[in-house]
Every structure is written in C-alpha cells, then in structure tokens.
C-alpha cells in the first residue's frame, strides 16, 4: 500500500482525498471551507472515512492552520498512525502556462514558475503555490507533485490556441488560450473510451465539464485539440458567476459608464455575472430549476447557459469531423437530467436519441443514449483526485 494525498488548495478552501495506490481505493476525503473568512452557523469541516462523515465548525486564520488541523485529524481519527505513511502529495495547480505540458516533481524552479504564472490564474495559482509550500514543510518526506489544469491542453494546435491579436503579444507575454479543467477532461475521456470499448487512441470525444466552472473540450485520439476556456478560466461558456465569452468593447463601455477600474470590472466578470448575473437570484442551477416555471430571469439564465453548451459542443463535433461520444461530468453535468436532455435534443437531427430512464440517473457512470443512436452519450463522474494520484505514482516510479 502506498498512501497518496491529492490536494486542491483554493483561496479560502482546502479539498483533499487520501488514496491507497495503486489499488486506487479511497481511504479518506474531505474539505475545509471558509479559511480566513467569517463563519456562519454551518459546519465548515467535513472528513469522510469508512463511510462516516466527521463534521465540525472551526475558525482558521490561514491555510497553515487549516493544513495543520487536517494532518492532526488524519492521525486522531486513526486514518494514519504517522504522517510518514504519506509517500506523495499531488497538488492541483490551475495554470502551468507553456512551461508545463505534464505533471512534475516540485523543486525551486517549479515553484518560481508557478509564482510567475499567477497573472494567468490570479484566483488560483497563489493558493496552489501556498499549499505546495506548506505541505512540503509539514510532510518533508513525501514527494511533492504539481498537476496542472492546463497541461492536458498543451496539445492544441497553434490555430486553436492563438487569438487574432498581433503575434508579438504571444511571443512577449504568452497571450494565448490555455484552457482549464484539463485533469478532469483527461480522466473523463479515458473513462469514456473504456465505456466505448475502444482504445483511447481510436476515439473522438467531446467532454462537457459543467459545474460552477464549466468548459468543453474536443479530444481526438486522447489529445486535447480545442477547449472553451481561454487565457484564463473566465472565457467560453456562461458559468455560475463567470460571464463567458463577451465583446471586449462592451466591457470597456460598461467600465466608462459605471466608472469602474479594471480590477472592479474583472470582479464583476468573474464573480457577479453568469447564472447569478442573469437570474439576479442565484448562481446555483438547482435553485434556478426550482423556480424556472415562474421566474423569467431564472428561466432565461438556464436557456442561455444551455445554449452556449450546445453551440460549443456542435462546434467541436464539426472540428473533430464527427464524434464517438459526448460525456457529461461535474456538478451540473452529473446531476441535472434537464440540462442533459436539452443538450441531447439539440443533436436529435444527427441521430442522437435519449434513454429517458437512464438520463434520470444522478452521479453515476452510465450510458444515457439509446443503442441505435448514431453516437453515444454518457454520464461520467469526474475524479480529478484519482487522476492526480495516478500522476504522483507514475512520477514516484520514474524517479526511483
């Protein structure tokens, strides 16, 4: 048994999963939320082990206190006897720019590059960097590995990742599409190939990672050839609070009318737009579906959200020259039959037929198209933590 810890350090949260590798069994998992923020009445710590959830409410002034608490809990709950049992820690890092096209063992050079890439993912990379430093300090004997959301998309061809800007902005500043959710898209495409019963290298797949953050990828022979997110995760689909694609002239126009600074406008585009901005009531699809029949703004937000999903999916099917399967994943993709149904109905003219009973499954790996469909549709729950642990194990083997 080799115990690998997969970590996702957010700006105010810490998600983790401890796995027994290479058996790929989950030993424990959980989340610490609202780090360095004012607590409400709800529990902000959840640790699940042996099917039992341990919940508590505790204030954490910073990530170091939160990580110390987590490691103490791993011992006090009997999950590990000693932290020395943890042989590797895999860290989700959102942006690896063009420097990283695969997961890497962390050293000082890697840390410096993650730091320099903060401008590409200002909400994520600084927290990811901090998490790496803290776990390195607290579990010094474990192999620390950085797993980049952007790495999987480094196979995109030049015509797909460049913008129609002066080329010098790319050479000077790295102005290009990087995408995100690569770890999820990679895992889901691999699982979809297994469900198809075909080698990954013989497949054409469109993966739909639809959650609070949302992106779609075109995957040919196991390689990403296009994806909807851009230079940062703000572009592409309408999301829970992100605007998605928008005319930059309109952004400038609103800034002038409202007297907004660049940072203030970015905050609106990242945190106050999308489903929340259109509906005016919530960023959560479940809340909007509850009132969709009676609330025009909620219904409009859902219609716009699904419209963009359909358009990107159609674009990528054409770009691939046909498709073997589309795969729905992440919070909405795995748990909203209504969203999946609307998307799939848009492709009925291409011969995609819905299995209504299967489509009402939530969060389980299953085919939701009929056997006589021209191509298949699946629900494939994502498992980024497992993909991270696999990368850590591979690097542990190659670094021996």
Q: How far apart are the first and last CA of the chain?
A: 17
Instruction: State residue 400's pLDDT score.
Output: 67
Q: Which two tokens stand for residue 339?
A: 């969203």
pLDDT at 272: 94
Q: Is 309 helix (H, G, I), strand (E, B) or coil?
A: helix
Please report the pLDDT score of residue 10 as a whole number: 77
**Number of neighbouring beta carbons within 10 Å of residue 2:** 16
Asked whether the domain spanning 182-384 has the same topology as the one spanning 2-148, the reply is: yes
Place of tokens 């709800």: 42
Instruction: State residue 301's pLDDT score.
Output: 96
| Sheet with strand 45-49: strands edge to edge | 52-56, 45-49, 25-32, 14-21, 2-9, 86-93, 143-148, 104-105
Q: Topology of 182-384 in CATH?
A: Nucleotidyltransferase; domain 5 (3.30.420)
User: Can you tell me the distance from the alpha carbon of 148 to that of 153, in angstroms, rounded to the nearest whole number?
Assistant: 10
Bridge partners of 379, per DSSP, are 328, 366
Please give the Cα distance from 338 to 286 (Å, whole number).
Answer: 11
Q: In CATH, what is the architecture of 2-148?
A: 2-Layer Sandwich (3.30)
Cα separation of 217 and 327, whole Å?
10
Q: pTM for the full model?
A: 0.91
Domain map (residue ranges) of the chain: 2-148, 182-384
DSSP annotation of 11 = S
The answer to whether 106 touches 135, Cβ cutoff 8 Å, is no
Angle between helical axes of 108-116 and 125-138 (0-180°, round to 10): 160
pLDDT of residue 350: 97
DSSP summary character for residue 50? T
- SS3 call for 330: helix
Q: Please state, in angstroms and rounded to a whole number, the distance separating the CA atoms of residues 203 and 340.
A: 22
Q: Pairing mode, if any, of strands 366-367 and 86-93?
A: unpaired
Residues belonging to the active site: 149
User: What is the model's pLDDT at position 326?
Assistant: 98
Q: Given the structure tokens 């498992």, which residue do they identify?
A: 383
Which residue stretches of the chain have pLDDT < 50? none
Both structure tokens of 211: 């959650």
């Amino acid at each position: 048994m080799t115990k690998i810890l997969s970590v996702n350090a957010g700006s105010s949260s810490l998600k983790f999963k401890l796995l027994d590798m290479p058996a790929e069994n989950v030993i424990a998992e959980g989340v610490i939320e609202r780090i360095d923020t004012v607590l409400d009445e709800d529990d902000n710590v959840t640790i699940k082990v042996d099917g039992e959830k341990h919940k508590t409410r505790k204030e954490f002034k910073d990530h170091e206190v939160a990580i110390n608490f987590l490691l103490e809990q791993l011992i006090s709950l009997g999950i590990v006897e000693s932290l020395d049992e943890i042989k590797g820690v895999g860290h989700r890092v959102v942006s690896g720019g063009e420097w990283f096209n695969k997961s890497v063992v962390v050293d000082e050079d890697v840390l410096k590059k993650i730091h320099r890439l903060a401008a590409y993912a200002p909400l994520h990379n600084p927290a990811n960097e901090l998490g790496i430093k803290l776990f390195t300090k607290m579990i010094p004997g474990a192999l620390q590995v950085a797993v980049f959301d952007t790495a999987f998309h480094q196979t995109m061809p030049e015509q797909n990742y460049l913008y129609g800007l002066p080329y010098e902005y790319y050479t000077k500043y790295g102005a290009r599409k990087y995408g995100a959710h690569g770890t999820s898209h990679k895992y889901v495409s691999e699982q979809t190939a297994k469900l198809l019963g075909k080698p990954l290298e013989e497949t054409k797949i469109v993966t739909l990672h639809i959650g609070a953050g949302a992106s779609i990828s075109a995957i040919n022979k196991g390689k990403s050839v296009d994806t909807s997110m851009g230079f940062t995760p703000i572009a592409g689909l309408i999301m829970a609070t992100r605007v998605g694609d928008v005319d930059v002239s309109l952004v400038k126009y609103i800034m002038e009318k409202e007297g907004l600074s660049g940072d203030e406008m970015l905050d609106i585009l990242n945190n106050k737009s999308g489903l929340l901005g259109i509906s005016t009531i919530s960023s959560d699809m479940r809340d909007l579906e509850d009132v969709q029949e009676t609330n025009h703004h909620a219904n409009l937000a859902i219609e716009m959200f699904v419209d963009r999903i359909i358009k990107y999916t159609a674009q990528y099917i054409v770009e691939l020259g046909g498709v073997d399967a589309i795969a729905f994943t992440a919070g909405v993709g795995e748990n909203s039959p209504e969203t999946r149904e609307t998307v799939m109905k848009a492709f009925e003219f291409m011969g995609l037929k819905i299995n209504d009973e299967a489509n009402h499954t939530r969060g389980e790996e299953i085919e939701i198209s009929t056997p006589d469909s021209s191509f298949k549709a699946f629900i494939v729950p994502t498992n980024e933590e497992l993909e991270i642990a696999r990368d850590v194990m591979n690097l542990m083997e190659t670094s021996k």
